[in-house]
Structure 1
Amino acid sequence: MPKSAYQIDPVATAITRGFSNGKMVADNILPRVTPVSKEEFKHNEFSNVDEAFTVPDTKIGRTSDANEATQSSKILTDSTDDWGLKTVIPQPDIDNQPAGVNLVGEATEHLTNLVLLDREIRVKNMVLDPALYPAANKLALDADSKLTNPNCDPIEIFDEALDNMIMRANCMVIGRKDFSILRKNPNIMKALNKTSGDKGKATVQELMELFELEEINIGEAWVNNARKGQARNIVRVWDGSILLFCKDAKANTRFGTTFGYTVPYQQRVAMTKFDPDLGLRGSTVVKVGESVKELVVANDMGFLISGTR
C-alpha cells in the first residue's frame, strides 16, 4: 500500500490534542476511555442489569463451595470510524504571514472545532433518541408539565424519574435554553428559598444538591443547519430534551457498568502536505481528524425526558 502524501505535523498535532471548546459536552456524556491500539476492538454490553440485584444463596456448607455470582454481559466486536476535515492555505499566505501568526496552527484549531462540533451532534442524536430507551426509562412531557408552563413542577418530574431508575443517575445533560427556564421555575425557587417566594435564579450547584446529582452538563453549542448557499439557520445542538444518566468515570471496555463511553483509536492527529497543483505557487493542505466510536452500553442507566418546551 502506498504511503500517504500527508506527514504528521508535531506542532499542529499538539494544537489539536490540546484544543478544547468548553461549550461542548459530548466528552462528559460519553467520556473517552483509554485509546485502543487497533481499529477493531471488543467491549462489554450490559443487557441484564437485574442480575446485579439478584442475590444467590450465600449459605456455605462446612465442606461445600460458595455459589457463584455473575453479571451477564455480551462481548461485542466493533470498530472505530474515521472523522476529519481539511483546508487549503495558499503558499503566498504562508510566505507573507505576519510575525507571531501561525496560519497552519489557526487552521488546525478551526478544523478541530468543526470536527468536535460534528461529534457533539452525533452524541446528541444518539443519546436523545427515544428509541434507545426502554419504555420505563423515558417520559414525554404533556402541555401541563412542560418547563414553559408556570404550573410545571420539575422536582416532582425529576424525583419520579430518578427514583424509578434501577441505578439512580448521577449526571444530567440539559440545553442552555431549557436550563435557563428550569433554574427560574417557581417550584424550584420555593424549595431553595424554603419560603413561598418563587422569584430568583438557581445556580448549577444548588440544582445539583436539590436533585442529588454529581454533575450537570449544560449544552451551549450552536450549529448552522442550512446547506451551503442557503440562508443561515442557526439552532442549538442540545434543545428540547433532558437526559439523566449514570456515569462511572473508571469504566472502560472491559470493566465497570456505566451508561456509555467513547472508544478512541490512538489519538487525534493533524497532518500537512504541500500540493504544487493548488494555486500558482502551490498550497499547504492541513488535515485534522480522529478515529472514535461512541457507544451506549447500558441504556437502562439513562432516563430521557423529552418535549420540555
Structure 2
Amino acid sequence: MTTAVAPYPINAPLIQAVVIAYANRQMIADAIMPRVPVGKAEFKYLVQNVAEQFTVPDTMVGRKSAPNQVESSGTMQTASVVDYGLDEVVPVEDVRNAPEGVDPMATAAEFVMKLVTLGREVRVANAVFNPANHVNKVTLSGTSQWSDYTNSDPISAILTALDSPIMRPNVMTIGRAAWTKLILHPRVIDYVNGKGGTSGGVTRQQLANALELEEILVGEAFVNTARRGQAMSLQRTWGKHAAFTYREVPSETSRSTTWGFTAQQGERISNTTFDEDNGGLEGGYKVRAGERVKELVTAPDLSYFFQNVIA
C-alpha cells in the first residue's frame, strides 16, 4: 500500500505560527479567566481556605520562646484539560489557483482558530454570567434596572456590591448592550464628571478609576445560534448582565487567590496533512487547529453578579 504524496509542499511552520499568533481583539475570555500553563492533561490545583488568610494568630514572641506556628490549608482539586479543535479541507485546486501572495492553507488555519476562539468566548461568557458561579448576587427588575434612568442608581448599587466580597473585586465584565446603557446613565455621568451634567457619556478608564477597578471588560462578540442550514440568527455572546470579580493571575509556582482561571496544556495545536479522499478529484489538505484548555471557577465568593441589569 502506497502513501499519498501531496502535490505541493506543506508549510507546517507557517501554519503553526498562524495558529499560535492568532488573536481576536474583540474577545475578552483570556482577560477575565487568564491562562495558566499546566504540564499534563490531568492536573491539580489548590482551593485555599479564605478564612485563614484573614485570621491573625497571636504574633507576640517571648524572649526565650519560639514564635507560634501557622499552616495554610486548602482543598486539593483534580481536573483535566479538554481538547477543542476543528478541521477545514482546502482542495488542491484552490491552492493551485490562489492569487500571488495568498496562502489558502494559512487562511484556513486562521479561520479554524477563529471559530475555536469564539467557542471559548461562549464558554467563558456562560461561566461568568452563570449565577451558580457567584455567592454574592442579585437579580434586577423594573425600576432597579440600569436602563431606568429616572429611578435606578447603578453607582450606589455597584459601590455597595463591591464591599460585599471578602476581597474587593477589581475587574468588571459587562455585555456591550448593558455597557451602552450604563455609560449614558445620568447618575453615572454625574458621579464620574462631578459637574452635575447629564449629557454625553463616560469612558471605560474614567469609570474604572471612579469605581477603583483595575479594568472594565466589555463583551463585544456575536454568535450565530441557528442550526446549520437555517437562516442566521446572531445573538450577543455576553448578555444583559454585569459581573465584578477578583482577578489575580495564578501560576504553577505561586499561590494566588482568584475568582477563576484557565488551565492550558502546551501551545495551540496545528496540523496539516494531505487527504486524497477529500477535497475533490485531486484531494485536498486537511488543516487542523485547536487547543487543550479547562476553564475553572475557583473562588465563587470573590465576586458580585448583577443579573438582568437592563430591560
- Confirm whether residue 43 of structure 1 aligns to residue 45 of structure 2: yes
Task: Answer yes or no: is the 8 Å Cα contact 1:8–1:270 preserved in 2.
Answer: no
Task: Answer yes or no: is the 8 Å Cα contact 1:171–1:216 preserved in 2.
Answer: yes
- Residue 294 of structure 1: how far off its partner (Å): 0.8
SS of equivalent to 1:67 = coil
Q: Give the aligned partner of residue 141 of structure 1.
A: 140
- Residue 50 of structure 1: how far off its partner (Å): 1.7
Paired with 2:69 and 2:232, the residues of 1 have a C-alpha distance of 60
Identity across matched positions, percent = 41
Task: Answer yes or no: is the 8 Å Cα contact 2:250–2:257 preserved in 1.
Answer: no
SS of equivalent to 2:266 = strand
SS of equivalent to 1:158 = helix
Q: Give the aligned partner of residue 237 of structure 1.
A: 237
Q: Give the aligned partner of residue 25 of structure 1.
A: 28
- Confirm whether residue 283 of structure 1 aligns to residue 304 of structure 2: no
SS of equivalent to 2:15 = helix
Q: What amino acid maps onto 2:105 in structure 1?
A: V
- Residue 88 of structure 1: how far off its partner (Å): 0.7
- Confirm whether residue 153 of structure 1 aligns to residue 167 of structure 2: no
In structure 2, runs of 5+ residues without a counterpart are 1-9
Q: Give the aligned partner of residue 94 of structure 1.
A: 95
Paired with 2:121 and 2:69, the residues of 1 have a C-alpha distance of 42
Q: Give the aligned partner of residue 4 of structure 1.
A: none
> Is 249-258 or 97-106 further displaced after alignment?
249-258
SS of equivalent to 2:132 = helix
> Is 253-262 or 227-236 further displaced after alignment?
253-262
Instruction: For residues 275-301 of structure 1, give each alpha carbon's deviation from its aligned partner in whole angstroms, at most 9, with x where no partner exists.
Output: 111221011010101001111111111
Instruction: Describe the shift of the 1:254–1:194 C-alpha distance in structure 2 as closer, same or farther (beyond 3 A).
Output: closer
Instruction: Describe the shift of the 1:284–1:109 C-alpha distance in structure 2 as closer, same or farther (beyond 3 A).
Output: same
Instruction: Describe the shift of the 1:214–1:21 C-alpha distance in structure 2 as closer, same or farther (beyond 3 A).
Output: same
Q: What amino acid maps onto 1:85 in structure 2?
A: L
- Residue 195 of structure 1: how far off its partner (Å): 3.0
Q: What amino acid maps onto 1:170 in structure 2?
A: N
- Residue 8 of structure 1: how far off its partner (Å): 9.2
Paired with 2:253 and 2:81, the residues of 1 have a C-alpha distance of 13
- What TM-score, normalized to structure 1? 0.93
Paired with 1:300 and 1:22, the residues of 2 have a C-alpha distance of 29
Paired with 2:129 and 2:172, the residues of 1 have a C-alpha distance of 12
The correspondence of residues 160-171 of structure 1 with structure 2, limited to 5 A, is 160-171=160-171
SS of equivalent to 2:45 = strand
Q: What amino acid maps onto 1:22 in structure 2?
A: R
Instruction: For residues 63-101 of structure 1, give each alpha carbon's deviation from its aligned partner in whole angstroms, at most 9, with x where no partner exists.
Output: 322222333321112111000000111111111211100
Paired with 1:258 and 1:163, the residues of 2 have a C-alpha distance of 17
Q: Give the aligned partner of residue 14 of structure 1.
A: 17
- What TM-score, normalized to structure 2? 0.92
Q: Give the aligned partner of residue 194 of structure 1.
A: 194
Q: Give the aligned partner of residue 274 of structure 1.
A: 274
- Residue 117 of structure 1: how far off its partner (Å): 0.4
Q: What amino acid maps onto 1:140 in structure 2?
A: T
Paired with 2:301 and 2:124, the residues of 1 have a C-alpha distance of 17
SS of equivalent to 2:172 = strand
SS of equivalent to 1:74 = strand
Q: What amino acid maps onto 1:238 in structure 2?
A: W
- Residue 188 of structure 1: how far off its partner (Å): 0.9
SS of equivalent to 2:143 = coil
- Give the number of equivalent residue pairs: 300
- Confirm whether residue 206 of structure 1 aligns to residue 209 of structure 2: no
- Residue 252 of structure 1: how far off its partner (Å): 4.5
Paired with 2:228 and 2:250, the residues of 1 have a C-alpha distance of 42
Paired with 1:51 and 1:169, the residues of 2 have a C-alpha distance of 19
- Residue 125 of structure 1: how far off its partner (Å): 1.0
Paired with 1:11 and 1:69, the residues of 2 have a C-alpha distance of 53
- Confirm whether residue 215 of structure 1 aligns to residue 215 of structure 2: yes
In structure 1, runs of 5+ residues without a counterpart are 1-6
Task: Answer yes or no: is the 8 Å Cα contact 2:249–2:261 preserved in 1.
Answer: no
Instruction: For residues 148-180 of structure 1, give each alpha carbon's deviation from its aligned partner in whole angstroms, at most 9, with x where no partner exists.
Output: 111211111100100112100111111111111
Q: What amino acid maps onto 1:37 in structure 2?
A: G
Q: What amino acid maps onto 2:62 in structure 1?
A: G
Q: Give the aligned partner of residue 227 of structure 2.
A: 227
Instruction: For residues 117-154 of structure 1, give each alpha carbon's deviation from its aligned partner in whole angstroms, at most 9, with x where no partner exists.
Output: 000011111121111222xx111112111111112111
Q: What amino acid maps onto 1:269 in structure 2?
A: I
